[in-house]
């Protein structure tokens, strides 16, 4: 576990607003979002209305950092729980500023938000997820397509009326976060450092309107497999009552508000022994969309199908990579409507996502009937998993230019 150093006074970036000093003692109190007022303004105007005026954070004192590799971490038993690490990255953008100014690392810890912040009241926020892997020789780290996460955040920000960091700012911030928390990157083959960028409306607002201030933050945690089943195939339940997304909604962007509404279906399914839920489209209730935390693929003969990203499906970066890798193997890949009939008659079913990687599905239960699929060594999903993770960890040559080194 990260041990925070003894109490320190830290000059926060918004010191000039008179909300300056915070005390670090086990947690960092960050005075966010004290702007009052109505905010507002059209989405397209927002980016140009914010101009950078963010003073620098005092450099973080790292003199008493514990540089041992992840303290007493049990690298062999990493799940997907939060292990607090040493540093987080924070960058802010206020009304009247043209974009995000230079951010800084600070000690990882709690943040303070106005009770009337846009994120707390109206859910104006997005998140991303990506992973850093240790190279075999421990000579640096590898990121997988971080620019894609940056671009997806920009698309989501447009939908949610928020300013977003540039691709360069995003990738720079991710690299800084990895390097500052390098001792928490699991040894190769044991897992990855999961990186969680957040973009939130941190400014105070009462009437329904875009917040007057935004905060971009990144924290990280070492993780292993997402599902408690580990590398084993999972059992899914097709959900018929609750839906994840609707046409015209926000299912196609990674807004924070997409996730709490799926908890009920997910918890009910878990209590019945399923790993996750598969959602159906909300109009016809006949086409499968995705699981709570990942995209879906079905294989029949030499054809792989995955639901098309037409607004209700999250455009996964792993999803897109797997489409390419399956085509490289000679499979026909179709992005289209995938009906319940396609699903239950498939040879193989698997899920993809940053957190879940490529996870095979052994059964799907629909209207009380359990359908079984091929799993094991000789499956397409296993081959795709091997190819993908070899590229991600720097074990196989990256002919596609997907990886970004962090040294």
- Which residues are known catalytic residues? 254
Q: CB of 198: closest distance to ligand COI in angstroms? A: 11
| Separation of alpha carbons 152 and 253, rounded Å | 7
**How far from the centroid of its chain's Cα atoms is residue 363's Cα?**
26
Options 2-10, 100-108, 168-176, 352-360: segment touching ligand COI (CB under 6 A)? 352-360
Backbone torsions φ then ψ of 76, nearest 5 degrees: -80, -10
- Take residue 70 and report the two structure tokens written for it: 């992840």
Select the residue interacting with ligand COI from 123, 129, 140, 187 (CB under 6 A). Answer: 129
Site string for ligand COI, 71-110 (x = CB under 6 A): ----------------------------------------
CA dist 168 to 40, 78, 124, 172, 174, Å? 27, 31, 23, 6, 10
User: Measured from the CB of residue 191, what is the shortest distance to ligand COI in angstroms?
Assistant: 14
**Which residue, judged by CB position, is nearest to ligand COI in the bound state?**
129
Label the pairing between strands 348-353 and 332-336.
unpaired
Q: In the 8-state DSSP scheme, what is residue 285?
A: S
Q: What residues contact residue 172 under an 8 Å CB cut-off, 6+ apart?
A: none
**Given 43, 257, 337, 355, the residue binding ligand COI (CB under 6 A):** 355
CB of 318 to ligand COI, least distance (A): 8
Name the percent of the chain in helix, strand, coil, to the closest 5.
Answer: 25, 30, 50
Residue 315 interacts with ligand COI (CB under 6 A): yes or no: no
Distance, CA of 189 to CA of 135 (rounded, Å):
10
Of 27 and 129, CB closest to ligand COI = 129
**β-strands 332-336, 303-307: how paired?**
parallel
Binding mask 255-294 toward ligand COI (x if CB under 6 A, else -) reads --------------------------------------x-
- When binding is defined by CB under 6 A, the residue of 354, 362, 387, 392 that contacts ligand COI is 354
Binding site for ligand COI (CB under 6 A): 129, 293, 353-355
């Amino acid at each position: 576990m990260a041990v925070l150093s003894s109490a320190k006074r830290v000059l926060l970036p918004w010191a000039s607003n008179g909300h300056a000093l915070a005390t670090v003692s086990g947690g960092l109190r960050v005075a966010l979002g004290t702007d009052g007022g109505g905010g507002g303004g059209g989405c397209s105007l927002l980016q140009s209305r914010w101009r950078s005026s963010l003073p620098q954070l005092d450099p973080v004192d790292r003199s008493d950092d514990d540089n041992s590799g992840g303290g007493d971490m049990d690298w062999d038993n990493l799940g997907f729980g939060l292990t607090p690490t040493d540093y987080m990255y924070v960058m802010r953008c206020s009304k009247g500023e043209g974009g995000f100014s230079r951010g800084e690392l600070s000690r990882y810890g709690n943040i303070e938000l106005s009770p009337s912040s846009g994120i707390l009241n109206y859910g104006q926020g997005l998140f991303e997820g990506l992973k850093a892997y240790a190279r075999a020789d421990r000579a640096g780290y590898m990121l997988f397509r971080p620019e894609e996460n940056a671009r997806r955040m920009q698309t989501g920000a447009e939908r949610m009326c928020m300013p977003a960091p540039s691709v360069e700012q995003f990738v720079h911030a991710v690299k800084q976060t990895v390097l500052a928390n390098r001792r928490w990157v699991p040894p190769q083959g044991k897992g990855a450092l999961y990186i969680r960028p957040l973009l939130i409306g941190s400014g105070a607002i009462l009437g329904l309107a875009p917040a007057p201030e935004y905060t971009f933050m990144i924290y990280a945690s070492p993780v292993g497999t997402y599902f408690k089943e580990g590398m084993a195939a999972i059992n899914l339940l097709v959900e018929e009552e609750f839906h994840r997304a609707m046409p015209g909604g926000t299912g196609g962007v990674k807004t924070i508000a997409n996730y709490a509404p799926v908890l009920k279906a997910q918890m009910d399914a878990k209590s019945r022994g399923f790993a996750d839920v598969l959602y159906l489209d909300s109009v016809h209730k006949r086409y499968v969309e995705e699981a709570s935390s990942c995209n879906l693929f079905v294989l029949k003969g030499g054809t792989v199908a995955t639901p098309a990203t037409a607004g209700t499906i999250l455009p996964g970066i792993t999803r897109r990579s797997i489409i390419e890798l399956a085509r490289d193997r000679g499979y026909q890949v179709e992005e289209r409507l995938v009906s319940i009939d396609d699903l239950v008659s498939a040879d193989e079913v698997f899920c993809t996502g940053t957190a879940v990687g490529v996870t095979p599905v052994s059964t799907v239960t629909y209207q009380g009937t359990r359908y079984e699929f091929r799993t094991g060594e000789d499956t397409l999903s296993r081959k795709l998993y091997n190819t993908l993770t070899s590229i991600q960890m720097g074990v196989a040559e990256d002919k596609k230019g997907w990886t970004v080194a962090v040294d």
